[in-house]
Amino acid sequence: MCITELGIGQTGVITHVDATDVHVQRLMVLGFVEGAEVTHLTTAGNAFEFRIMNTLFAFSKEQAQHFTVEPV
Protein backbone atom coordinates (compact mmCIF):
# COMPACT_ATOMS: atom_id res chain seq x y z
CA MET A 1 0.00 0.00 0.00
CA CYS A 2 1.08 3.59 -0.51
CA ILE A 3 2.37 5.43 2.56
CA THR A 4 -0.50 7.92 2.14
CA GLU A 5 -2.98 5.09 2.81
CA LEU A 6 -1.76 4.63 6.39
CA GLY A 7 -4.36 5.86 8.85
CA ILE A 8 -3.47 8.68 11.20
CA GLY A 9 -1.49 7.17 14.06
CA GLN A 10 -0.84 3.98 12.10
CA THR A 11 2.70 2.62 11.70
CA GLY A 12 4.12 0.82 8.70
CA VAL A 13 7.42 -0.55 7.45
CA ILE A 14 8.72 0.81 4.16
CA THR A 15 8.93 -2.09 1.70
CA HIS A 16 9.77 -0.26 -1.54
CA VAL A 17 11.02 3.17 -2.60
CA ASP A 18 10.72 4.53 -6.14
CA ALA A 19 13.84 6.71 -6.16
CA THR A 20 13.30 8.30 -9.58
CA ASP A 21 12.47 11.70 -8.03
CA VAL A 22 15.40 13.74 -6.71
CA HIS A 23 13.34 14.92 -3.72
CA VAL A 24 12.61 11.30 -2.81
CA GLN A 25 16.34 10.57 -2.93
CA ARG A 26 16.87 13.33 -0.36
CA LEU A 27 14.22 11.77 1.90
CA MET A 28 16.06 8.45 1.59
CA VAL A 29 19.22 10.10 2.91
CA LEU A 30 17.16 11.26 5.90
CA GLY A 31 16.05 7.71 6.72
CA PHE A 32 13.08 6.90 4.46
CA VAL A 33 14.57 3.61 3.24
CA GLU A 34 13.32 0.04 2.96
CA GLY A 35 12.92 -1.54 6.39
CA ALA A 36 12.39 1.73 8.26
CA GLU A 37 9.30 2.11 10.49
CA VAL A 38 7.23 5.20 9.77
CA THR A 39 4.16 6.57 11.57
CA HIS A 40 1.57 8.76 9.86
CA LEU A 41 0.93 11.68 12.22
CA THR A 42 -1.39 14.05 10.36
CA THR A 43 -2.55 15.28 6.98
CA ALA A 44 -3.27 18.89 6.05
CA GLY A 45 -4.38 19.48 2.49
CA ASN A 46 -1.60 18.19 0.24
CA ALA A 47 0.92 17.82 3.08
CA PHE A 48 1.51 14.61 5.02
CA GLU A 49 3.42 14.50 8.31
CA PHE A 50 5.31 11.36 9.33
CA ARG A 51 7.58 10.36 12.19
CA ILE A 52 10.63 8.24 11.52
CA MET A 53 13.43 7.66 14.05
CA ASN A 54 11.86 10.22 16.47
CA THR A 55 12.06 12.96 13.82
CA LEU A 56 9.05 14.63 12.20
CA PHE A 57 8.90 15.15 8.44
CA ALA A 58 6.25 16.78 6.27
CA PHE A 59 6.16 16.42 2.52
CA SER A 60 3.73 16.50 -0.39
CA LYS A 61 1.44 13.74 -1.58
CA GLU A 62 3.41 13.61 -4.84
CA GLN A 63 6.59 12.73 -2.92
CA ALA A 64 4.78 10.39 -0.52
CA GLN A 65 3.39 8.32 -3.40
CA HIS A 66 6.92 7.03 -4.09
CA PHE A 67 6.91 4.99 -0.85
CA THR A 68 5.23 1.60 -0.39
CA VAL A 69 4.61 0.33 3.14
CA GLU A 70 3.33 -2.74 4.93
CA PRO A 71 1.22 -1.91 8.01
CA VAL A 72 2.57 -3.13 11.36
3-state SS string for the chain: CEHHHCCCCCEEEEEEECCCCHHHHHHHHCCCCCCCEEEEEEEECCEEEEEECCEEEEEEHHHHCCEEEEEC
The number of distinct structural domains making up the chain is 1
**Whole-prediction pTM value?**
0.93
What residue numbers bound the domain in which 14 lies?
3-71
pLDDT tens digits, residue range 27-67?
A: 999 999 999 999 999 999 999 999 999 999 999 999 999 99
CATH classification of the domain holding 44: 2.30.30.90
pLDDT bin (cut points 50, 70, 90) of residue 9 is very high
